[in-house]
Structure 1
Amino acid sequence: MVKHKEETTDQSPLTLRLEALDEARTLGEGRVEQVTLDAALLVLERAAARRSLSAEHTVVGFFGATGSGKSTLFNAVTGENIARSAATRPTTSQPLAGIWGSEGAGPLLDWLDVAERHVLDNATPQNSTQQNAQSGTQAGAASSSSEKGSVRSWFRKDPKVPGGLILLDLPDFDSTELKHREIVERLAGMVDVIVWVLDPQKYADATVHHDFMRKFSAHGAVTMVVLNQIDRLNEREVPQVLDSLRGIMAQDGLTKVDLHAVSARTGQGVDKLRASIRRVADERAALSTRLMADVERTSEALAQGATWEPLAQIESVDEQRLARQLAHASGVDVVVRAVQRSYALDAGAKTGWPVTRWISRLRPDPLRRLNLKSKDVNPAVNRTSLPKPGAAQRAEADGAVREFADRASTGAPDAWRSSIRKAARSSAEILPDRLDQALANTDLAANKGSWWWPIFSVIQWLALVAAVVGLGWLGVLFGLQYFQIQPPETPTVEGWPVPTLLVAFGVLLGIVLGIAGSVFARFGAKSRARTARKRLNEAVRKVAHEHVTAPVSAEIDRYNRFINAVSRARGQQGRRR
């Protein structure tokens, strides 16, 4: 029934699985239902307490419904009339213990809260006549017919051989007394071996199977099922009832459980039941197996809905898409257009015709209006003058974050998908301000000119000087002629008067420079806008990473560690991607 012996090293399989369960419980805080987390904590606390107590004793609990003959069977197995059995039911109101190997059993029974204790190491079974006289039953017939000596004849307590046994007779789990049911439910989670005692009349009772046996389907390795009172059936009915019971047990998930047909009254089958109990106690593996089953059942509950496949880490393409969407929602396009127009204005003011440059300075600078052209600002308090995001912009940003979280959480259970969405929105209140601050502190080179500006400016001034000199020269010549004064001979070039050439050269050069400057300014503005967009997008990406991507990545990592821990708690190798 039990195949593996108790490991005692610090790194035993049970220890590792308990540690994994505790890790899974911690990681599941706020993501898994609290009732499941509480159940896991209870398993861990019980495991810690039970492992600190006697490992030499195997605790076997007899659980049964009213009328199943559980107490009579307990007496038959122990060979002592210590459990009360009578026609008036229920007869057992508190758990009582039959003990073989009293040394070390006290603290264990204190933990189980079992006050009534009977040490059976040196007891001698009474014969059937004595027992019938005391209890009104024939429970002792099993003892007198199958064993004549001490109770040690079926459970040997040799001081040289470690090992002990504690049998518990428990109240009926369908008792009308609520206190009785509470005792049964508590001890069902604490004993090392569970023995379900059924009777031919109520073996198919839904309460027995749905409320109790099915809940412990994972504990088949430390479970026995006893069909008592088979003496009430004729020989042909016994196999039929056993087959029916096996079918119901299969529905409960108890397909590999020992099934015993006994009669506590006549002693039929009691020896085989004793032998099964003795084998479990001798192997001394029930404690470990029971705790393993507790961990298994709790781990399954923790991982309910999990796909058992780790979530992929966030792809860079998804992060870039999020950054682009947030950039658009935060007004990066507006800033980029302002950079382009601001550059064009500055280029005109620096390279345009000197006489009309002042006109361009009268036009408002869009970057300055956005508070993005100030010098010597404190980055911690620097903000743009962009309009506050409207409903459309907020909806766009929220939609981008939600879409990002949904893609990242694909394949996770609903509770974990919700936690990933929550992580993505953990900075929703401050995200707009952080994005605005990122835009305000991005170096847009707003106050930086281009290499060609001073060249064009110098040439423009030279052209203007040439035109002014030419005009002045012509003016002097005109004045001398007006006053009938013979002017000096005017130099010419290829027949063209130099003053006229200076004026023409200055005006034409100014026009050419103006056209060339506008072309250069257009290309320069586009180049500056591209650079600004790249820097702004990178600033937005950093904010998105800090306030959206990083929390989501942390939650994904937490989920992956959770399913890894659950897998290890179930005795499987942790899955790592």
Structure 2
Amino acid sequence: MSRHGLAREATRLGARLEALNRARELAEGVLPDTALDDVFQVLDRAGSRRSLSADHTVVGFFGATGSGKSTLFNAVNGAEIATAAARRPTTSEPLASVWGAEGSEPLLDWLDVRQRHYADPVPGFADESSGLILLDLPDFDSTRTANRETVQRLVGMVDVLVWVLDPQKYADAAVHQDFLTPLASHGAVTLVVLNQIDRLPAADVPLVLESLKGILAQDGLGKVQVIGASALSGAGVDKVRAAIRGVVAQRAALSLRLSADVTRAAARLLEVSGDGEAAGVKGSARSRLAEELAVAANVPLVVDAVGRSYRQESARRTGWPVTRWLVRFRPDPLRRLNLRSDTSPEVNRTSLPAAGAPERARTDAAVREFADTASDGAPGPWRASIRSVARAGRDRLPDALDQAIAGTDLKAGRKSWWWGLFNVVQWLALLTAVGGLAWLGVLAVLGYLQLPVPEVPRVEGWPIPTLMIAGGVLLGILLAVTAKFITAGFARARATAAGKRLKAAVSRVAGQHVIEPVEAEIGRLSAFNEALKAAGK
């Protein structure tokens, strides 16, 4: 691959790693920690490997006991390397054969490979400019726990994986289930060698190779290169070298390996998360939630109190002055609910009835229905998370709704323009009636004292004082009755306006404590899916 191509691939890989990390961060608290820890390890390994030598390709030889892995490793390296390998203090230690010492030391330190051999050039295979590191590793089926842990660790760290199998155990479930199948996405950096073919009749070699390819296809590695070889006879060793040389020459193994790791990690997150998007918050669901919360928070009771309070105040200001004073003995409905207080709404509380079992059940049902509707279509863990944030908001609703109602301006103290007019006319009517009574009273006193009684003016035969009394009383009663009808209309209008303001306040509370957290969680799911999609590309 050209330098331009390598740079482009490195940039693409960097973007995928960033997307994977973003998906991991978004999934925290939603997906299991074990899955997120696996992703973090992938990101950590990728960051460490990218900071080390990109000029070296690390090729690991993996195999079971008796597969001839170390013998093949020596055959690929050359006789001189085999001699050096024989001097290893213990077979449990990985051995590195290095071509190109410059820059390899930090990489080998990161791999924790202490046994290092700086190999001589192998014609047609590797020299000092190759930047190649071959690793001979312990048997993956070793009875020693430390050996198995070393193999597991380096399976996730080398750039290229060479699996050395033998004709007797090439179908062993251990290697396929524990290693090959989980690494199906790493086919571009995987090479499978069927070693010891010299032990098979020549006619059986193609059949065994085809059988092995079929099993690998079931593992998801149908496109992996499979080579038959014999480390003892030398058959196929050149093909193994050529395959390794081809991978090294491309200089893309590092990016391909890390890219495969990202693909696998993204697939793992998708498997744990599940696929799908939440339906989201619809306007109808938002309105229904606000309506249900308004009922549960006793908004209808407050609206009724606003209307009754207006009617009571209107009667006190426009009723017949002779009887209107009786209204003062009635308690104001809003004051009884502590909704005429001038106390700051942040510290004020209403005297509305505390939420009982029916109200709590109604609130719970409304929030649950809202969350279920909004989370419809979301994968299981995310659906649970959306419901969880809705429930958390629900627990804060009673106090928040009470504060919202206490802080809503009900316009309860606002006077109506017609009150003053009716009040003036009522007092004029009363004064007229009182004036008529006073006139007649004066006339009665004069007659009682046997004094001359002046003639009373008449209108159509009716004495004016009598007309004044009758007219004043009738006008007062008529005004009081008329005021009741006018009051009823204004009371309905004022109650309706107060209801709208209260419902708007309830809607804001629902938005702050339930709707916005649910929308944020849905947005988190959407961002997670986008990041996961970008990471999986």
TM-score (norm 2): 0.94
Q: Aligned to 1:197, which of 153, 164, 181? A: 164
8 Å Cα contact 2:297/2:355 also seen in 1: yes
- The 8 Å contact of residues 163 and 284 in structure 1, kept in 2 or not, is answered as no
- 2:136 maps to 169
- Written as runs of structure 1 = structure 2, the 5 A alignment for 1:70-149 is 70-80=69-79, 82=81, 92-122=91-121
Give the whole-Å Cα distance in 2 for the aligned partners of 1:46 and 1:54: 14
**Distance in 2 between residues matched to 1:118 and 1:77, nearest whole Å:** 14
CA distance in 1, matches of 2:34, 2:436: 97
Question: Which of these residues, 164, 174, 177, is aligned with residue 210 of structure 1?
Answer: 177
State whether structure 2 residue 199 is matched by structure 1 residue 232. Answer: yes
Instruction: Please state whether the residue corresponding to 2:60 is helix, strand or coil.
Output: strand
The 5 Å alignment of 1:402-413 reads: 402-413=368-379
Once residues 489 and 199 of structure 2 are traced to their aligned partners in structure 1, the CA distance between those partners, rounded to angstroms, is 104
CA contact (8 A) 1:93 1:171 kept: yes
Give the equivalent residue in structure 1 for 2:64: 65
Q: Distance in 2 between matches of 1:184 and 1:382?
A: 68
Q: CA shift at 1:3, angstroms? A: 11
Among the aligned pairs, what percent are the same residue?
57
Q: Secondary structure, in 3 states, of the residue corresponding to 1:186?
A: helix
| SS of residue paired to 2:227 | strand
Instruction: State the Cα deviation string for residues 328-386 of structure 1 (Å, max 9, x = none).
Output: 111111111111111111111111111111211111111001111123x2232111111
CA contact (8 A) 2:187 2:223 kept: yes
Q: How does 1:392-471 map to 2 (within 5 A)?
A: 392-471=358-437
Distance 1:11-1:282 versus aligned 2 partners, 3 A rule? closer
Aligned to 1:184: 151
The one-letter code matched in structure 2 to 1:231 is D
Map residues 332-411 of structure 1 onto 2, 5 A cutoff.
Answer: 332-375=299-342, 377-411=343-377
Pick the structure with more helix per residue.
2
Equivalent residue, structure 1, for 2:257: 290
The count of aligned residue pairs is 533
After superposition, the Cα gap between the structure-2 partners of 1:3 and 1:35, relative to the gap in structure 1 and judged at 3 Å, is farther
Shift of 1:490: 0.9
User: Displacement, 1:510?
Assistant: 1.5
CA distance in 1, matches of 2:399, 2:321: 42
* Equivalent residue letter for 1:200: P
Q: Residues 5 and 67 of structure 1: is their aligned pair in 2 closer, same or farther, counting only changes over 3 Å?
A: farther
Equivalent in the alignment of 2:15: 16
Cα separation, 1, equivalents of 2:80 and 2:136: 12
Partner residue, 2:298: 331
Q: CA deviation at 1:157?
A: 2.2
Query: CA contact under 8 A between 2:426 and 2:479: conserved in structure 1?
Result: yes
Q: Give the residue type in structure 2 aligned to 1:460.
A: Q
CA drift at 1:306: 4.9
2:254 partner letter: L
Amino acid in the other structure paired with 1:439? I
Note the C-alpha offset of 1:509: 0.9
* CA offsets 1:286-328 (integer angstroms, 9 cap, x no match): 0000000001111111222556555455333322222211111
Cα RMSD of the aligned pairs, angstroms, is 2.2
CA distance in 2, matches of 1:11, 1:470: 106
- Does structure 2 retain, via aligned residues, the 8 Å contact 1:305–1:413? no
Aligned to 2:458: 492
Aligned to 1:255: 222
Deviates more, 1:4-13 or 1:331-340: 4-13
Structure 2: gaps (5+ residues): none
Tell me: CA distance 1:49–1:400, structure 2 relative to 1, closer, same or farther (3 Å): same
* Aligned CA distance change for structure 1 residues 491 and 508 (closer, same or farther; 3 Å): same
User: Secondary structure, in 3 states, of the residue corresponding to 1:383?
Assistant: coil
Per the alignment, do residues 379 and 29 of structure 1 end up closer, same or farther by CA in structure 2, a change over 3 Å counting? same
- CA 1:547–1:96 in structure 2 vs 1: closer, same or farther (change >3 Å)? same
Q: Distance in 2 between matches of 1:198 and 1:85?
A: 24
Over residues 135-194 of structure 1, what are the superposed CA-to-partner deviations in whole Å (9 max), with x where a residue is unaligned?
xxxxxxxxxxxxxxxx2x122426xxx531111111111111111110000000000001
Q: Which residue pairs with 2:268 in the alignment?
A: 301
Structure 1 residue ranges without an equivalent (≥5): 123-150, 572-577
Q: Is 2:504 the counterpart of 1:570?
A: no
Following superposition, the deviation at residue 486 of structure 1 comes to 3.8
Secondary structure, in 3 states, of the residue corresponding to 1:7?
A: helix
Once the 2 structures are TM-superposed, how far is the Cα of residue 425 of structure 1 from its aligned partner? Answer: 3.0
How many Å separate the matches in 1 of 2:272 and 2:49? 31
SS in 1 for 2:377: coil
Q: Is the 8 A contact 2:81 2:119 kept in 1?
A: no
Offset, 1:552: 1.7
3-state SS, counterpart of residue 405 of structure 2: helix
Conservation of the 8 A alpha-carbon contact between 1:24 and 1:562: yes
Query: Contact 1:83 / 1:169 at 8 angstroms: preserved in 2?
Result: no
Are the counterparts in 2 of residues 5 and 284 from structure 1 also a CA contact under 8 Å? no
1:519 aligns with 2:485: yes
CA distance, structure 1, for counterparts of residue 403 and residue 161 of structure 2: 65
SS class of match (1:426): helix
Q: Which residue type is aligned with residue 226 of structure 1?
A: V
Q: How many angstroms apart in 2 are the aligned matches of 1:419 and 1:6?
A: 42
For 2:2 and 2:180, how far apart are their aligned partners in 1?
22
- The answer to whether the 8 A contact 1:64-1:196 is kept is yes
Is the 1:92–1:172 contact (alpha carbons within 8 Å) kept by the matching residues of 2?
A: no
Report the 3-state secondary structure (helix = DSSP H, G, I; strand = E; otherwise coil) of the residue aligned with 2:182: helix
Amino acid at match of 2:125: F
Letter in 2 for 1:166: I
Q: What amino acid maps onto 2:169 in structure 1?
A: K
Q: TM-score, normalised on structure 1?
A: 0.88
- C-alpha separation in 2, matches of 1:39 and 1:406: 31
CA deviations over 1:358-417 (Å, ceiling 9, x no partner): 211111111001111123x22321111112211221222222222222222222222112
Q: By how many angstroms is 1:10 displaced?
A: 10
Q: Alignment partner of 2:79: what SS?
A: coil
Structure 1 contact 5–285 (Cα < 8 Å) conserved: no
Structure 1 SS opposite 2:183 = helix
Write out per-residue CA displacement over residues 8-48 of structure 1, whole angstroms, 9 at most, x where no aligned residue: 37971011111111111111111121111111111111111
Shift of 1:473: 2.0
Tell me whether 1:559 sits opposite 2:525 in the alignment: yes
- 3-state SS of paired residue (1:254): coil
Take 1:103 and 1:6, find their aligned partners in 2: how far apart are those partners? 24
Q: Distance in 1 between matches of 2:10 and 2:255?
A: 13
- 1:163 to 1:311, Cα distance in 2 relative to 1, 3 A: farther
CA distance in 2, matches of 1:540, 1:554: 20
Q: Matches of 1:240 and 1:504 in 2, distance apart?
A: 125
Would you say the 8 A contact 2:273–2:381 is kept in 1? no
Question: Equivalent residue for 1:279?
Answer: 246
Tell me, yes or no, if the aligned pair for 2:31 and 2:272 is still in contact at 8 Å: no
Query: Which residue of 2 is the match for residue 129 of structure 1?
Result: none
Structure 1 CA distance for aligned equivalents of residues 360 and 315 of structure 2: 37
